[in-house]
Amino acid sequence: MAVGVYIGSTTGYSGKNLIAMSLGLRFKKLGLKVGYMKPVGAVPRKEDGKPGDEDAMFLQEVLGLRQDPSLVTPVVVNRDFTRRAFSEDIGDLMPGIVEAYGKLAEGKDVMIIAGSGNFLGSGTYCGLDGVSVSRALGAKTVVIDRYSNELKYDYLLRCREALGDDLAGVILNDIPEHYRPEVDELLVPFFRRKGVDVLGVIASDPIMSAIKVSDLAERLGGKVISAHHKADRVVENFLIGTMQVENFLAHFMRHKNSAIIVGGDRSDVQLVALEGSCPCLILTGNLHPNDIILTRSEVLQTPIIMVREDTFAVAKKMENILSRHKLRDMIKVNHGVRLVADALDFDLLRQRLGME
């Protein structure tokens, strides 16, 4: 009988796909037969005419699996589904999920089960919250908490209350260097006293939030207007160029791999950023740069993205994009898998899963 590992999180965009990939690849490396399921999908996509979830399809590709997408994701949440869920009795969806899981688990040693949204809440409206699904499938659960100003320790303790020994442990993700001593010296021992195993502490890494210039332009609703051949360059962070040139230069020198968001009329800041080898310029206000800026951009091979919105609106979008950019680039996948491998206590996880 396959061992089921359900991957949940305290919020969306916490690293569930990365952990699912990393565990799947690690189990495969041990010679185990691995299957994958995402019971509830929220990014609809069809493959060979069958509905499924885009994230689930990508994960299967990484894990080298070819499974029926309608089994992998038996419930796909789209507009039609939510309308029906709110307006009529859609019935009990759990038996279909359990049946699909049974078929996928045949001949497998381990089943990786990816959750959606946040573990305790998402899917409650249709009876498919993480606790209910993981229990119905008889799986042990790993919950990820991604640092955002603080860790959600109360939430993790509620997961322990809800699951008891079926909580295999928690993974603390994207932990900045300045917060690491508090995690190691205070929070990990605290969780241990409360019966919660911390399976790994993954440090913040700029590559994991990085995004290609071409993808960034698309997400911002803008367009690349120069140095198109360098649109695969990677952006790790951003700076806002609204200050005086002297002050901007000092700030820029400390954050070299940052895209610069600046008004299309600020050619002084634009030139400084270009000469300082920023990965790309993002010009706001739908203002076209002058010929000098365009020429230097081409010579220095630095792409320029032009967007309609104002500087601060774009900056807010950038913050969301960099924190929520999906795992799609194989360079990022491989880097992330190495990060997880270095941070995860895999022996403790196997013990909690009853695999030793």
Q: Which of 110-114, 258-262, 309-313 has the highest mean pLDDT?
A: 110-114
31-35, 70-74, 136-140, 210-214: lowest mean pLDDT where?
210-214
42-56, 169-183, 286-300: lowest mean pLDDT where?
42-56
92-96, 223-227, 231-235, 300-304: lowest mean pLDDT where?
231-235
Residue type at 24 in one-letter notation: G
Of 119, 154, 145, the residue nearest 134 (C-alpha): 119
pLDDT digits (tens, 9 = 90+) for 157-208: 999 999 999 999 999 999 999 999 999 999 999 999 999 999 999 999 888 8
pLDDT of residue 130: 97
pLDDT digits (tens, 9 = 90+) for 79-132: 889 899 898 888 899 999 999 999 999 999 999 999 999 999 999 999 999 999
CA within 13 Å, CB half, 10: 21
pLDDT of residue 34: 97
Query: pLDDT band at 23, cuts 50/70/90?
Result: very high
Contact 113, 6 (CB under 8 A): yes
Look at residue 170 and give its three-state secondary structure. strand
The per-residue b/e assignment along 26-49, b for 16 or more CB within 10 angstroms, e otherwise, is bbbeeeeebbbbbbbbbbbbeeee
Whole-number Å distance between alpha carbons of 260 and 278: 7
Q: Where are the alpha helices (DSSP H) in the chain?
A: 16-29, 54-63, 69-72, 79-87, 94-105, 130-136, 153-163, 180-182, 188-193, 213-220, 245-253, 267-275, 291-300, 311-324, 330-343, 346-352
Contact 138, 29 (CB under 8 A): no
Task: Write the CA distances from 353 to 6, 32, 34, 219, 291, integer angstroms.
Answer: 11, 14, 15, 39, 62
pLDDT of residue 45: 82
Cβ atoms < 10 Å from Cβ of 209: 17
43-52, 156-165, 180-189, 306-315: lowest mean pLDDT where?
43-52
- Domains of the chain in start order, with CATH, are 3-207+326-352 (3.40.50.300), 211-324 (3.40.1390.20)
